[in-house]
């Protein structure tokens, strides 16, 4: 636990490093920040912070830079401050993220774009898991006696479809009967809900091979759309950062982030609920993310929720990024 004075010195050093990406010396802190102590005291506090592992002197430079431990102390203090703490994002920031999009994919894409613009970092918005989304309507369109098109509309506006083939001729009346039957079971429910709450009428209906076949195809249709639901924007913003001036240093990070489950894994280590999670450098898994910080939050309803995240150098503007992520959560909370 740092004393108030050491916390102020550490915060000033981190703010200066975030702004300029250069090692920070005691003279800079004394000249630019009102710390209320003498230059000798600042030098002494920097030495103590370095010995404790909060800052480090790179190479032979006279200045210091924060370590992951230093950033963690800074972020923990930031999260408990009145300006960030439990406060809501500014109205302007929320309004910047809001848009007139009516379809989910468009909404997520525009939110990701605004988030990247606001933070100057990489933004990733993961769509809710389709398999646990509530189904609004299911349509079966006959293409021929041996082919049909399944169309699934979820309550959040996603439209999914899948072709299916029959080994025997199926007329339109049979298809319409199955469509009405499945819509009765699925109305306002997800596949998970239907499986968990299966009543006698559904069990009886599933004895019909055609009903079972089409239900299996509906599940496959939903599962096929679970992956590749991430909206990623802002790679060029990262390339402009000094930490990633060489594209090769960013490649391992982007390869890991191609796997959508990485962000969901952030929430596997504890019940974070709707809280904003900040993972700094070495706190991240896998190891490829040890050079970046991730600020993320969940949105939506429980298992059907998605994830909004910002990824950038550990030298990111945490205050701005946390506020932006919370604004995105607020915009997306009701989908």
Tens digits of per-residue pLDDT, 94-143?
A: 666 665 455 666 788 888 888 999 999 999 988 776 666 778 899 999 99
Question: Shortest CA distance to 266 belongs to which of 326, 321, 307?
Answer: 307
Residue 286, preceding peptide bond in cis (omega within 30° of 0): yes
- Long-range CB pairs of 63-67 (<8 Å, 24+ gap) are 63/22, 63/23, 63/24, 63/25, 63/28, 64/13, 64/23, 64/24, 64/25, 65/17, 65/23, 65/24, 66/10, 66/13, 66/14, 66/17, 66/314, 66/315
Identify the H or E element spanning 177: helix 172-186
Query: Is pLDDT above 80 for 78?
Result: yes
Is the CB of residue 135 less than 8 Å from the CB of residue 154?
yes
Instruction: Compute CA distances 18 → 66, 135, 243, 315, 318, whole Å.
Output: 10, 46, 12, 5, 9
Write the pLDDT tens digit of every residue in 13-23.
999 999 999 99
Half-sphere exposure of 210 (CA within 13 A, CB side): 20
Residues 6+ apart with CB under 8 A from 69: 53, 54
pLDDT-derived band at 55 (thresholds 50, 70, 90) equals very high
Are the CB atoms for 292 and 283 separated by under 8 Å? no
pLDDT at 69 over 90: yes
Residue with token string 């919370």: 326
Distance from C-alpha of 11 to C-alpha of 133, rounded to nearest angstrom: 43
d(CA 205, CA 291) in angstroms, rounded, equals 54
Q: What percent of the chain has pLDDT over 70?
A: 80
What's the CA gap between 197 and 191, in Å, rounded? 10
CA distance 125 to 112: 6
Give the pTM: 0.73
């Amino acid at each position: 636990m740092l004393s108030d004075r050491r916390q102020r010195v550490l915060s000033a050093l981190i703010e200066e490093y975030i702004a300029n990406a250069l090692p920070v010396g005691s003279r800079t802190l004394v000249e630019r920040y009102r710390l209320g102590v003498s230059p000798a005291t600042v030098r002494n506090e920097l030495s103590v912070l370095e010995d404790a592992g909060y800052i480090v002197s790179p190479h032979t430079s006279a200045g210091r830079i924060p370590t992951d431990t230093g950033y963690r102390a800074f972020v923990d203090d930031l999260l408990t401050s009145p300006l960030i703490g439990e406060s809501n994002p500014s109205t302007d920031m929320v309004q910047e993220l809001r848009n007139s999009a009516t379809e989910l994919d468009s909404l997520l894409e525009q939110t990701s774009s605004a988030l990247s613009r606001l933070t100057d970092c990489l933004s990733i918005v993961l769509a809710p898991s389709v398999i646990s989304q509530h189904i609004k309507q299911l349509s079966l369109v006959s293409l021929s006696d041996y082919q049909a098109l399944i169309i699934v509309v979820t309550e959040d506006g996603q439209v999914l479809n899948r072709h299916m083939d029959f080994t025997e001729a199926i007329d339109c009346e049979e298809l319409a009967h199955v469509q009405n039957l499945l819509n009765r079971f699925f109305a306002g429910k997800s596949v998970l809900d239907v499986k968990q709450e299966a009543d006698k009428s559904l069990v009886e209906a599933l004895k019909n091979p055609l009903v079972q076949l089409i239900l299996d195809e509906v599940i496959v249709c939903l599962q096929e759309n679970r992956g590749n639901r991430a909206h990623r924007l802002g790679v060029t913003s990262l390339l402009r950062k000094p930490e990633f001036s060489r594209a090769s240093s960013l490649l391992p990070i982007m390869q890991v982030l191609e796997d959508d489950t990485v962000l969901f894994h952030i929430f596997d280590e504890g019940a974070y609920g709707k809280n904003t999670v900040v993972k700094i450098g070495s706190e991240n898994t896998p190891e490829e993310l040890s050079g970046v910080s991730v600020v993320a939050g969940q949105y939506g309803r429980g298992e059907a929720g998605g994830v909004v995240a910002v990824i950038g150098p550990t030298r990111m503007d945490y205050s701005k990024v946390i506020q932006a992520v919370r604004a995105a959560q607020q915009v997306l909370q009701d989908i």
